[in-house]
Amino acid sequence: MKDFNQPLGGNAMPRMGGPATMMRLPTQDTAEGLDACFVGIPMDIGTSNRSGTRLGPRQIRDESRMIRPYNMATRAAPFDSLQVADIGDVPINTFDLKKSVGIIADTYRAILSHVVVPLTLGGDHTLTWPILRAMAERHGPVALIHVDAHSDTNAQMFGEEAAHGCPFRRAHEEGLLQNDKVFQIGLRGSGYAPEDFDWGRDKGWTVVPAEACWHKSLAPLMAEIRETIGDAPVYLSYDIDSLDPAFAPGTGTVEVGGLTTIQGLEIIRGCAGLNLVGCDLVEVSPPYDPAGNTAVIAANFLFEMLCALPGVARD
């Protein structure tokens, strides 16, 4: 019987001690032999307002120390059937965003040379663009579930094409997405023009604004999404600012009227049964997260993503 890595339990080592890895899991240098891996991208040079997301992966890992190995709601037991480890951080170039985009893409090409699902701790949202490059090279164009307050489809920001407001425009331009299977959930706030959120709709994407989510369960929406995506390879990109700032203040570009943590769980749990090939959780900014709650939510959402992966055992 295969010996699967396990998170370090609270009875073996007090929660404030042990390795500073995701869920206090073992670490290794590459993804070799793994079914899923946690990867950090400590980057905020693509942000346009408040910085601090370079500290996100470390804080998420720290706040993951309370997470136990079994999901009591879904009965998922990822560590009973998947080999999982924390493979550390991508060595971005702190002073050059364009070079960092290339470094991220190359790193994920190496990760995806193994049959593994990477779960990424961000880091600003620019990082999803180079990850999608590597994903498309490995799997072909992918379906996308993008949860965010913002569409991130700007043509440019300050004349630059690499920025956290542009990744999904770039991904579309490079043919990385299956446009009839792209879903953007939670968009809201003010804009520069009334049609700002229509760019994706014009490409065949399904855009679900936050107002359409208010006061309701998102389980029916996820059932529709599962039916549309079918068995296509799908990538989940979750920006923590999709949540209302009452839940997640520790981010750079907060918008009022966001999703609840319960709706966030419904979205992620609703991905179970899909062919998830990668996930990310981005835009956690610890300097604006005084109680650590934003990072706690992020850590738990990443665990829920792990629980939703194909091949996870369920009791």
User: What would the pLDDT profile of 174-208 be if each residue is shown by its tens digit?
Assistant: 999 999 999 999 999 998 888 889 999 999 999 99
Q: Is 146 helix (H, G, I), strand (E, B) or coil?
A: strand
Amino acid identity at 228: T
Distant-in-sequence, close-in-space partners of 192: CB < 8 Å, separation ≥ 6: none
* N residues, the chain: 315
pTM, to two decimals: 0.97
pLDDT in tens, 11-43: 999 999 999 999 999 999 999 999 999 999 999
Helices 261-269, 293-307: crossing angle, 10 deg rounding: 20
pLDDT band at 313, cuts 50/70/90? confident
Residue 174, both tokens: 């490079």
Closest CA to 280 of 245, 224, 234: 234
Average pLDDT over all residues of the chain: 96
Mean pLDDT over 206-222 rounds to 98
